[in-house]
Amino acid sequence: MTILDRFRVDGRTAIVTGASSGLGVAFAQALAEAGADVALGARRAERLGSTRELVEAAGRRAIAVPTDVSVPEDCDRLVQEAIEAFGKVDILVNNAGVGTARPALKETPEEFRAVIDVDLTGSFILAKAALPLLARAEHPALIFVSSLAGIRGRPGAAHLCAAKAGVIGLARSLAMDLYPHGIRVNAIAPGPVQDVERGEPSPLPPGAPADVGISRPADVANVALFLAS
């Protein structure tokens, strides 16, 4: 028995966005291994299919729903398909994110807005779409994925830092709004995470703080599992 055996989500349904690569795959896999069915959202349908296979290999059900989280109709469809497939939504992991290194002085307002649209506004849109269902769940958990960059700042990433700081404010405010409805709201703020697709050891990304280690995706996913369980 490991400590992870205490964090079970048997019979629950999760929605995980950004589930076509990186951390989103790890979130989906950890939740499935702990007993949840998972609705997977991201734009790339083919990559979602691979994550679906991972969830099914863990013995749970999965659906893959091509979704752009910055588009309200897409978010509504993701929630709707989760309900049709599984009958409920207990856990939402708002993980989808973009943000390449780009000095703020060279960034256009459109480029800045595009990151805010996905990382911050997209998280809000999907949370709002899922709230009526979370409010009906027995143990609802709403989890946002922020970043250490949203707390400390990072050179060459004003868009990302602004969006991720916004995600923390969004989570804090929703935690107060939703407490009366029994919905637990948390944000995770990982430091640099190993890029498993590039193999290990992966280098620290440019501008990454020197005083923090590199997490494995599974470590971050286990934090989400703890918060969901």
Which parts of this chain interact with ligand NAP (CB under 6 A)?
17-18, 20-24, 42-44, 47, 67-70, 95-99, 118-119, 122, 145, 147, 190, 192-193
Amino acid letter, 190: P
Q: 215 in helix, strand or coil?
A: strand
Please say which residue, 8 or 113, places its beta carbon nearer to ligand NAP. Answer: 113
CB of 156 to ligand NAP, least distance (A): 14
Q: What share of the chain is helix, strand, coil (3-state, %, to 5)?
A: 50, 15, 35
CB of 229 to ligand NAP, least distance (A): 20
Structure tokens at 206: 């440019």
Please say which residue, 23 or 183, places its beta carbon nearer to ligand NAP. Answer: 23
Evaluate whether 170 touches 120 at the Cβ level (below 8 Å): yes
CB of 119 to ligand NAP, least distance (A): 6
Please say which residue, 97 or 140, places its beta carbon nearer to ligand NAP. Answer: 97
Q: Which residue has the tokens 């409805």?
A: 181
Evaluate whether 39 touches 15 at the Cβ level (below 8 Å): yes
How distant is the alpha carbon of residue 27 from its chain centre?
7
Please say which residue, 48 or 137, places its beta carbon nearer to ligand NAP. Answer: 48
Structure tokens at 25: 């795959």
CB of 52 to ligand NAP, least distance (A): 13
